Amino acid sequence: MALLLGLLGGLGAWELYRMARQLGIEAMDVVGIAIAAAIPLYAALDRLGVLQSPAAIAAVVFIALLGMSLWARGVGGRPLESVAVTAFGAVYAGGMLTFGFLLRHHRFAVTAEAGTALVLFPIVLTWASDIGAYFVGRAIGKAKLMPAISPGKTRAGAVGALVVTVLAALAYNTWVLRPMAQLTLAPMIVVIFGLVVSVAAQVGDLFESMLKREAGVKDSSHLLPGHGGILDRLDSIYFVLPIAYLVLNRLLVAAPR
């Protein structure tokens, strides 16, 4: 799983640097892509106890990135923009996905089935949010949500996404999370979790649309024919996984047997 997330993170970082180049910003592509791909592997090594001082290693990598800008860009190469975009691309494309690995190997997930059920929880809710927004928006959506960023998004669709996600969260908690993982959330917490995930999914979608608007591109790349790029497919997931991990890490409890 860490290898898969690393691959997706590296490809996502490449797409982001590609969009930044449309704005005249030359990120340190090779370094940023390598860091984005390495972050999930870093998390896997940390879990195995291979890394003794993960925070110190992260600090050294960041300092090395700053130092490399002296030779790679210099004053004329807009080093501040280069370092900022390089670091952002690595954290956004690789770091955010790493929370999927952390969910899969959550301390409460004692079996492979439990880990799978836990990591799929926010992903399924993200799909539910997209489905709710699409169908409700098409049925009754008129007022635009943010037309300057995403003309297709409507306010009615945003509300529909919230409702469908909450219903999906209640169903998943009862019929998947409890029997497969022996884990559960209180009903009110499930409702809140569904709302938070839907908001995060919609914000993530809009954020990636904003990046593309600024870069003047329709899709982040053409890696997936007919579907755009990695960032286009995972835009909501980037925001959902960290939020889901933070919420579940504090509120998840073992289900009564």
Please give the Cα distance from 235 to 237 (Å, whole number): 6
pLDDT given for residue 257 in this prediction:
54
Instruction: Give the CA-trace dihedral at 147, 150, 156, 160, to 10 degrees.
Output: -170
Any idea where the domains of the chain sit in the sequence?
Answer: 1-95, 108-257
Residues 17, 18, 24, 26, CA torsion sign: positive
Please give the Cα distance from 237 to 221 (Å, whole number): 18
pLDDT tens track for 77-115: 678 888 899 999 999 999 999 999 999 999 888 899 999
177 and 170 Cβ atoms separated by less than 8 Å: no
pLDDT tens track for 36-74: 999 999 999 888 887 766 667 677 777 777 777 766 666
Q: Please indicate, yes or no, whether the overall pTM of this predicted structure exceeds 0.85.
A: yes
Burial of 63 (0-12, 13-18, 19+ CB in 10 A): exposed
Query: What percent of the chain shows pLDDT beyond 70?
Result: 93
CA distances to 16, 230, 252 from 58, in Å: 21, 25, 29
Please give the Cα distance from 156 to 134 (Å, whole number): 10
Please give the Cα distance from 60 to 101 (Å, whole number): 23
Please give the Cα distance from 88 to 238 (Å, whole number): 13
Please give the Cα distance from 112 to 52 (Å, whole number): 26
